Amino acid sequence: MKISEIIDKLEAYHGPLEPERRTCDIVQYGDPDQVCTGIVLSCCPTAEVIRKAAELGCNLIIGHEPLFYDGWNETDWLQDNCVYQAKKQLLDRLGIVVYRDHDHIHNHRPDGIFSGLAKMLGWEQYQETENYFPGTAYHLPLTTVRAVAEHVAHTMQIDGIRIIGDPEMPVERVAIVGHFFGTDWDRQNIQLIEKMNCDLIIPGEVIDWTIGEYVQDANTLGIRRALLNVGHFNLEEPGMRYMAQWLPKVLACDLPIHFVQSGNSFSWLSFKKAEEGKRL
């Protein structure tokens, strides 16, 4: 089966976007008219994911995020960039095609990323709100921030999560929201948290002066709130991992399909709190 045929089947499964809508769901690199040898699914098509795809004998990566550091995959501004050139050479050498499935999978009903995340977390039965944007509220059996964080980290296959708030705080209602970008989205997300009286917030992006300040103020004022800062890729990657379960049925072929984790972007350096007045 040609890669272009795989893309057509995938987009048909998701359903069409609005006719006038500009989409970032394009072949970001490579020749889609070649025969597919295998598919790698990942949140972000990093250089490490590209190498792993080649090791697995796959020449198609279906990623959720951009290939070249730009939401529309525009590369004119990168022509003299050494990292761009090195990544492009890697793709050429390995013969990898990269397709982005972002708008279509989010436009799927239900949202393919966040419904996949709910399934991977095992939280479908606890869902209180119907839609996934601006966010979803879950009413869990009574637990703690620490216990939820451990479960989320295990599901996302990461080794740590930044938090705001008390790890031992009781939790019943959790909001998984999109991203805090310092825009009107932040207002919608905070309004959802307030309306559903959510104890714990799990967003993708975090802006200190909107949701960060909101949670800090809530704690100071005696209102039960906490936040898990898992990171954008980590929040959405389980949805791409779940894709490996339904994509074979959509394609109706025996192509090898692998999920490759793009992985946690951050690691931690821990230091003792600096003494007051100490200067480098």
Closest CA to 59 of 74, 27, 77, 37: 37
Q: Are residues 103 and 119 in the same domain?
A: no
**What tokens does 267 get?**
């690691």
Residue 179 known to bind ligand:
no
Q: Is the residue at 264 inside a domain?
A: no
| Domain stop point among 212, 230, 248 | 230
Q: Is the residue at 199 inside a domain?
A: yes
111-166 residue pLDDT tens: 999 999 999 999 999 999 888 888 999 999 999 999 999 999 999 999 999 999 99
Q: Are residues 131 and 224 in the same domain?
A: yes
| H or E segment and range at residue 171 | strand 170-177
Q: Are residues 18 and 100 in the same domain?
A: yes
**pLDDT, position 277:** 57
Q: Are residues 18 and 96 in the same domain?
A: yes
CA distance 132 to 266: 26
Q: Are residues 169 and 151 in the same domain?
A: yes
Closest CA to 243 of 115, 145, 65: 115
Q: Which residues of 135-164 are buried (b: 16+ CB within 10 A; e: fewer)?
A: bbbbebeebbbeebbeebbebbebeebebb
Q: Are residues 183 and 224 in the same domain?
A: yes
Q: Is the residue at 18 inside a domain?
A: yes
CB 91 within 8 A of CB 40: no
Confidence at 280, pLDDT banded by 50, 70, 90: low
147-158 residue pLDDT tens: 999 999 999 999
Q: How many CB atoms lie within 10 A of CB 103?
A: 18
Q: Are residues 75 and 154 in the same domain?
A: no
Q: Is the residue at 274 inside a domain?
A: no
Q: Are residues 224 and 156 in the same domain?
A: yes
Q: Is the residue at 221 inside a domain?
A: yes
Q: 257-259 and 39-42: which strand pairing?
A: parallel
Q: Are residues 58 and 144 in the same domain?
A: no
CA distance 37 to 164: 45
Instruction: Provide, rounded to the nearest whole percent, the portion of the chain with pLDDT above 70.
Output: 98
Q: Alpha carbon of 275 to those of 16, 126, 205, 269, 272: distances in Å?
A: 58, 45, 30, 18, 9
Q: Is the residue at 175 inside a domain?
A: yes
**pLDDT, position 269:** 84
**pLDDT, position 102:** 98
Q: Are residues 164 and 70 in the same domain?
A: no
CATH of the domain at 153: 3.40.1390.30
CB 98 within 8 A of CB 27: yes
Q: Is the residue at 11 inside a domain?
A: yes
Comparing 273 with 196, the larger pLDDT belongs to: 196
Strand partners, 98: 29, 61
Q: Is the residue at 280 inside a domain?
A: no
Q: Are residues 214 and 241 in the same domain?
A: no
Q: For residue 202, give its domain range.
A: 115-230
Q: Are residues 240 and 221 in the same domain?
A: no
Question: How many domains does the chain fold into?
Answer: 2
**pLDDT, position 43:** 97
Residue 104 known to bind ligand:
no
CB 43 within 8 A of CB 262: yes
217-276 residue pLDDT tens: 999 999 999 999 999 999 999 999 999 999 999 999 999 999 999 988 888 888 877 665
CB 135 within 8 A of CB 175: yes
Q: Mean pLDDT, the chain, as a whole number?
A: 95
Residue 106 known to bind ligand:
no
